[in-house]
Amino acid sequence: MHLRSAFLFFMTTANEIVDVVIVGAGFSGLYLLHRCRQLGLSARVWEAGAGVGGTWYWNRYPGARCDIESMQYSFEFDDGLQQEWNWSERYAPQPEILSYAEHVAERFELLSDIDFERPVTSACFDEKVNTWTLTCATGEVLTARYCIMATGCLSKPNWPKIEGYDAFKGTILHTALWPHESVELRGKRVAVIGTGSSGIQSIPRIAEVAEHMTVFQRTPNYSIPAQNRPLEPDEVADIKANYAQLRARAKTRSVGIEGRYNSGSVFEVSEAERQAEFERRWAEGGLTFTASFGDLMLSKEANDTLVAFVHGKIREIVEDPVIAAKLCPGNIIGGKRVCVDTDYYATYNRDNVELIDIRESPITAIVENGVQVGDTRHVADYIVVATGFDAMTGALNAIDIRGRGDQSLRDLWREGPRSYLGLAMAGFPNLFTVTGPGSPSVLSNMLLSIEQHVEWITDCIAYTTQQGHSTVEATESAEKDWWNHVQEAGQIGLKHSTDSWYLGANIEGKPRVFMPYLGGCPAYRKKCEEVVADGYAGFEFG
């Protein structure tokens, strides 16, 4: 029986419904819609923005670009798409990634099934007819047999709790909600709050045009030079000719990124050899810098050698030793996501850039003409808030999601999230999450993880329908066992030793729970395959 026919056969309501509703038109939502169509399922996408692209639609701040190499941060499900699209740089800038998302939507004719400017406010499961009903801020309602949350891991902006936002007479911008129209910062006084990834990427670009820029730093972050450059035609041709092998190798890597990995210890080589390797990696740039040796994220003593090297680089680049000291993080490298930059540290050598350490003197308030720190007022025309996201759970908790017995996902996650494989939650039939908490997600190449999740979810829906079932949901025992495993894996090595957004530490009052799966992409993929081979072990059908 064709899947669409099967759905119509099992429908128990006269109301018109779609088979699948997808929340979000980023890369997850686009591929989900394409896969649903291939399976003969009717699907509708509700997207809060006015266009496709997800995070790359919203994050348009100066200097925004991916920190994973372009040729790997792309879809592999269609070889024609791989071969026809040409990336211009090693690390693609935001406009180019957005153009790629738009190209995918147009190439596979997806736009006709996407409704834009539909921010979802609630999603409720009706046990009588086994359907999900979604409501958006416009008041419109959509009903479907299956609901897939493709809301993204980094999509709910984090606004720091500072008094006086409304008092400011200038313009306040958040890097995650950057205006689509041009923002003219040339000749302006700009205050930047936050030195995470978006701050580190935007600060050098803003400094090039601003009359004066004041950076407010609470916690310094490690940043490695991207060593970005244009891609050479011969290089691109070689990768395209061997794409299948590149993708296969990437899937054997813990983070899903192919590169140069060294399993040896920093203590198995001489000091001179160790420093030479660090220098080579620094010159290469990119996230695989922490893969210089195999024990850097397992041993504090090993990690200390890399910390000392990076601190030395910061002091070498930054001319003022007092500023350099403030820019040197005091924790391990790699506990937080390592940033990738272009000219970040060198920016502090500019005469028009000032660094304020708000650990020493916290921000008192935002006032009508700037930022108040103690008795000092830092005058600004623009305030750029670069404080990142309520990661992993923020976008899901922003929606009133209710499953069996009207139970609220937000309430169940009050002490921290729980999920089976980052895909489904007990008590929420026919609800799936793409790269949810409990999956490698943000610790991996997101495009690789998205494809794996999309294919797993749509295959599961196909199986459920073909077997004549109307519902599928994770069991409580499977969810509990998996989540315990996620927490155990999170204790391996050094990542848990640093307050980071992996733990929710950047959000006041958020439970400290290690949310992504640290066991690596190969182990996770194997577990998902075993679940399917065992008749979807850990799931129950109705």
Q: Which stretches of 208-348 are DSSP H helices? A: 233-241, 243-250, 271-284, 300-317, 321-327
Instruction: State both tokens at 169.
Output: 């007479």
CA dihedral of 401, 404, 405, 410, whole degrees rounded to 10: -30
End-to-end CA distance of the chain: 19
In terms of DSSP bridges, do strands 370-373 and 376-379 run parallel, antiparallel, or are they unpaired? antiparallel
Nearest to 68 by CA among 373, 443, 396: 443
- The pLDDT of residue 4 is 43
Q: How many helices (H) and strands (E) does the chain have?
A: 16, 20
Residue with tokens 């980071």: 500
pLDDT of 161 over the 70 cut: yes
Helix (H) or strand (E) holding 44: strand 43-46
Nearest to 149 by CA among 354, 452, 453: 453
Residues 6+ apart with CB under 8 A from 476: 426, 427
Residues 6+ apart with CB under 8 A from 381: 170, 171, 188, 189, 190
pLDDT of 14 over the 80 cut: no
Distance CA 505, CA 527 (A): 29
| 212-217 β-sheet, strand order | 171-174, 382-385, 189-193, 212-217, 353-357
Tens digit of each residue's pLDDT (9 = 90 or more) over 218-249: 999 999 999 999 999 999 999 999 999 999 99
Residues 6+ apart with CB under 8 A from 280: none
Q: Which stretches of 47-142 are DSSP H helices? A: 55-58, 79-84, 94-107
Task: Look over the chain and give the mean of its residue pLDDT values, rounded to a whole number.
Answer: 95
DSSP string for 167-194: G-SSEEEEGGG--SS----TT-EEEEE-
pLDDT of 6 over the 60 cut: no
99 alpha-carbon distance from chain centroid: 19
Instruction: State both tokens at 528.
Output: 């998902």
> How many other CB atoms are there within 10 angstroms of residue 26's CB atom?
24
pLDDT of 428 over the 80 cut: yes
> How many other CB atoms are there within 10 angstroms of residue 231's CB atom?
18
Interval 151-179 mean pLDDT:
97
Tens digit of each residue's pLDDT (9 = 90 or more) over 389-411: 999 999 999 999 999 999 999 99
- The pLDDT of residue 7 is 42
Residue with tokens 């813990």: 254
- Neighbouring-strand partners of residue 373: 363, 376
Coil, strand, or helix at residue 117? Answer: coil
- The pLDDT of residue 2 is 43
- The pLDDT of residue 445 is 97
- The pLDDT of residue 3 is 47
Of the chain, the percentage scoring pLDDT greater than 90 comes to: 96
Interval 427-441 mean pLDDT:
98
Nearest to 365 by CA among 382, 384, 378, 381: 378
Interval 132-148 mean pLDDT:
97
9 pLDDT tier (thresholds 50, 70, 90) = very low
- The pLDDT of residue 1 is 36
413 pLDDT tier (thresholds 50, 70, 90) = very high
Nearest to 191 by CA among 389, 314, 388, 366: 366
Distance CA 185, CA 63 (A): 13
Tens digit of each residue's pLDDT (9 = 90 or more) over 468-512: 999 999 999 999 999 999 999 999 999 999 999 999 999 999 999
12 pLDDT tier (thresholds 50, 70, 90) = very low
Tens digit of each residue's pLDDT (9 = 90 or more) over 54-110: 999 999 999 999 999 999 999 999 999 999 999 999 999 999 999 999 999 999 999
Interval 414-426 mean pLDDT:
97
Higher pLDDT, 4 or 222: 222
pLDDT of 51 over the 60 cut: yes
Interval 130-140 mean pLDDT:
97
- Neighbouring-strand partners of residue 217: 357
Nearest to 371 by CA among 235, 193, 181: 193
- The pLDDT of residue 16 is 65
Distance CA 263, CA 248 (A): 19
Which of 5-9, 468-472, 522-526 comes out lowest in average pLDDT? Answer: 5-9
Interval 271-281 mean pLDDT:
98
Distance CA 68, CA 344 (A): 18
pLDDT of 5 over the 60 cut: no
Nearest to 159 by CA among 389, 458, 3: 389
Nearest to 25 by CA among 113, 95, 97, 107: 113
Nearest to 395 by CA among 139, 92, 58: 58
Check residue 364 and report its DSSP letter.
Answer: E
Tens digit of each residue's pLDDT (9 = 90 or more) over 344-393: 999 999 999 999 999 989 999 999 999 999 999 999 999 999 999 999 99
